[in-house]
Amino acid sequence: MIEIKNLTKKYGSKTVLDDISFTVRSGEILGFLGPNGAGKSTTMNIITGYISSTSGSVSIDGIDIMDNPKEYKSKIGYLPELPPLYMDMTVMEYLEFVCGIKSADSSCIPEILKEVRIEDVSHRLIKNLSKGYRQRVGIAQALVGDPELLILDEPTVGLDPMQIIDIRNVISQLGKKKTLFISSHILSEISAVCDRVLIINKGKIVAEDTPDNLSALVSGKNKYIARIEGTKEDIEKLLSEMKDIDRFECRGSDEEGSFDYIIYARKGSDIRKALFNTIAANGMAILMFKSFDVSLEDIFITLTGSEKGEE
């Protein structure tokens, strides 16, 4: 779908993008993350044709933006962080206006209204709508012309929790029909809706994979949570005697006489079978056992060396 090759952007002596390459496959939802100044917004601006690159190429379905910009841009629907809305227009008037700009048939509007769930406010002034509805109108204008690719920059910024859930559902439904390229400050949003995650830092791509596979890049793959039934003294004696356990932490107990532990295995060790056999052989039971879940926030901070937050 999108192919980025050796993309570089310089402002004088400052390199904002440093020879990055990646693809966005047709039909996928790709999440784009990066701390402040990483080059995320610059990348999105180049893809949409808003600014040009210093070197490298950008193409959609083999159409290069420099060779055929009009056909290239016809394949893109774009929602910037601040939706380009005219507040004194009704929703219907605004979408008809957008159809005129894009030379699109206005007969598409009823279907778009239905798709983003704004049929009930189509004749209201945009300035009288809530921020959540305005965001949906912004998504609606991006859908005019039936583009193959939607680029959404911070689609849930400034929304309350219920509005975020609503927009997330809209995005998930759109992802069944379109290719989506999404940036977001809300890392849980990326994890919830995206098939793949791309992380950029200091102008370079530092990670690219599914949210689940990225968790293997940070410490956590040798970390487990276990609920063990028995006395605390007996449990900890057995854990301390197992050679492949590096250390463990008790996180409390319940009324039924079981204790929760975070267990750290030595690097390269698989403690599961030995732990189950040891606990069972000593008349105790493992009631729950699972790998420690590494969040997208953990991955982001580990790979970029920054606190949560983006440009």
Q: Is the pLDDT of residue 220 over 90?
A: no
Q: What single letter denotes the amino acid at residue 42? A: T
Q: Is the pLDDT of residue 219 over 60?
A: no
Q: Buried (b) or exposed (e) across 55-72, using 16+ Cβ within 10 A?
A: ebebbbeebebeeeeeeb
- For residue 306, name the pLDDT band (cuts at 50, 70, 90): low
Inter-residue contact 61 to 1 (CB < 8 Å): yes
* Start-end of H helices in 123-160: 131-143
Q: What single letter denotes the amino acid at residue 48? A: T
**Which of 126, 134, 29, 125 minimizes the C-alpha distance to 82?**
134
Q: What six digits make up the tokens of 174?
A: 């759109």
Each residue's pLDDT tens digit, 261-291: 999 888 778 899 999 999 999 999 999 998 7
- For residue 308, name the pLDDT band (cuts at 50, 70, 90): very low
Q: Is the pLDDT of residue 310 over 50?
A: no
Q: What per-residue confidence (pLDDT) applies to 300?
A: 72
Q: What per-residue confidence (pLDDT) applies to 266?
A: 87
**How much helix, strand and coil, in percent to the nearest 5, is found in the chain?**
35, 30, 35
Query: Using alpha carbons only, what angle is made at residue 17 by residues 74 and 148, rounded to the nearest 5 degrees?
Result: 20
- For residue 311, name the pLDDT band (cuts at 50, 70, 90): very low
**Which of 109, 126, 132, 150 minimizes the C-alpha distance to 26?**
150
Q: Is the pLDDT of residue 309 over 50?
A: no
Each residue's pLDDT tens digit, 11-40: 999 999 999 999 999 999 999 988 878 888
- For residue 158, name the pLDDT band (cuts at 50, 70, 90): confident
Q: What is the mean pLDDT of residues 297-306?
A: 70
Inter-residue contact 135 to 163 (CB < 8 Å): yes
Inter-residue contact 99 to 106 (CB < 8 Å): yes
- Rounded Cα distance, 18 and 42, in Å: 12
Each residue's pLDDT tens digit, 58-100: 999 999 999 999 999 999 999 988 899 999 999 999 999 999 9
Count of other CB atoms within 10 angstroms of residue 228: 26
Q: What is the pTM of this model?
A: 0.73
- Rounded Cα distance, 307 and 252, in Å: 29
Q: What is the mean pLDDT of residues 249-258?
A: 83
Indicate the average pLDDT of the chain: 88
Q: What is the mean pLDDT of residues 48-65?
A: 94
- Rounded Cα distance, 155 and 152, in Å: 6
- For residue 218, name the pLDDT band (cuts at 50, 70, 90): low
Q: What per-residue confidence (pLDDT) applies to 183?
A: 87
- For residue 160, name the pLDDT band (cuts at 50, 70, 90): confident
**Which of 173, 180, 116, 171 minimizes the C-alpha distance to 144?**
116
Q: What is the mean pLDDT of residues 301-305?
A: 71
Q: What is the mean pLDDT of residues 40-55?
A: 92
Q: What is the mean pLDDT of residues 182-206?
A: 84
Sheet of strand 245-253, all strands in order from the earlier edge strand to the far edge: 245-253, 258-265, 223-229, 285-291
Q: Is the pLDDT of residue 256 over 80?
A: no
Tell me which residue has tokens 């690159």: 53
φ, ψ at 147 (rounded to 5°): -70, 155
Q: Buried (b) or exposed (e) across 199-216, using 16+ Cβ within 10 A?
A: bbbbbebbbeeebeebbe
**Which of 169, 185, 182 minimizes the C-alpha distance to 142?**
182
Q: Is the pLDDT of residue 161 over 90?
A: no
Each residue's pLDDT tens digit, 126-157: 999 999 999 999 999 999 999 999 999 888 87
Residue 281, classified by CB atoms within 10 Å of its CB into exposed (0-12), middle (13-18) or buried (19+), is exposed
